[in-house]
Amino acid sequence: MTGAPQDFTSDFSIEQNWPDYTGEEHAIWRLLFERQQRLLVDRACQEFLDGLDALGVAADGIPDFHRLSDLLDAATGWRIVAVPGLVPDDVFFAYLARRRFPSTCFIRRRDQLDYLQEPDVFHDICGHVPLLMNPVFADYMQAYGEGGLKALGLGHLQHLARLYWYTVEFGLIATQQGLRIYGSGILSSAGESVYCLEDPRPNRIRFDLRRVMRTRYRIDDFQQTYFVIDDFQQLFDATRPDFEPMYREIAAQPDIEPDVLIQSDRKFEPSCFPGPADCGQKNGLQLDRSPSLGRKRLEDVRQHHNQ
């Protein structure tokens, strides 16, 4: 995989060329996967763990996109499209709207295990793809793509980008067993997988669509606020209405800083959190405050729109 760059077509698709991965690249996947597996067993939502299992994504190496796509397609009609890296917004949204997930192929180097600026195959496949096996989440992602195309035309991509950030990348979900992770940016980050659930510092508040769209976010550190959904149906239902009137309403209101609570917030109060002394000590993990891995292409959105 370290050979000459491939030409890509107008839709930025390339071939994964799975046989070309080296033993070292598969070994790095194994390292990352085994570390996250230990951390996520009691922290990731069950839908994610079920998807991982059903897809056969495991420690044995970087998966073949064709094999994963056939399983995904049979379950929810999604397929994976290999892309060389970040793709333009309109291309990205068009893929989602057609139930295609653009995934990078390269894997980070061994000296980049804890921080990488761009998403790699571990973030995209291990973080994003398992939830596409869930029918409701799969529909939400398609609807997001359709909404993205519309937001582009309306000039409100900044607001819609925040929805992606605080759900698809950094979302938490309330379950019978307690708070769990479903956001891919967290699921592919060892440090934030622990921090988001067990550190007392960040805000954890109930999902509210307008609130999310008004909230700025940080790309250079762990999140200061996480939004908690009850289930994926709530997420899908909340985002079903036409956003155009909402965009106008939100545009007239001030943005909310990432660490700020407002009066209407409903805080999620779990029965208890481990104290700071415990945070990051489980599984022998020392918290690393590097930003989460695989910041999605929405960083570009942020830069373009002066988030």
Interface residues with Fe ion (CB under 5 A) are 184, 296
Q: How far apart are CA 213 and CA 217, in angstroms?
A: 10
What is the number of the residue whose Cβ is closest to Fe ion?
Answer: 296
The smaller minimum CB distance to Fe ion, of residues 122 and 207, is found at 122
Q: How far apart are CA 14 and CA 151, in angstroms?
A: 27
DSSP 176: T
Q: What is the DSSP string of 68-135?
A: HHHHHHHHHS-EEEEESS---HHHHHHHHHTTEEEEE-----GGGTT--SS--HIIIIIIIGGGGGSH
Closest CA to 122 of 111, 132, 109, 135: 109
Closest CA to 60 of 93, 88, 37: 37
Q: What is the CA radius of gyration of the chain?
A: 18
CB of 19 to Fe ion, least distance (A): 26
The smaller minimum CB distance to Fe ion, of residues 158 and 250, is found at 158
CB of 128 to Fe ion, least distance (A): 6
The smaller minimum CB distance to Fe ion, of residues 115 and 273, is found at 115
Q: How far apart are CA 226 and CA 264, in angstroms?
A: 15
The smaller minimum CB distance to Fe ion, of residues 158 and 184, is found at 184
The smaller minimum CB distance to Fe ion, of residues 122 and 247, is found at 122
The smaller minimum CB distance to Fe ion, of residues 36 and 184, is found at 184
CB of 185 to Fe ion, least distance (A): 6
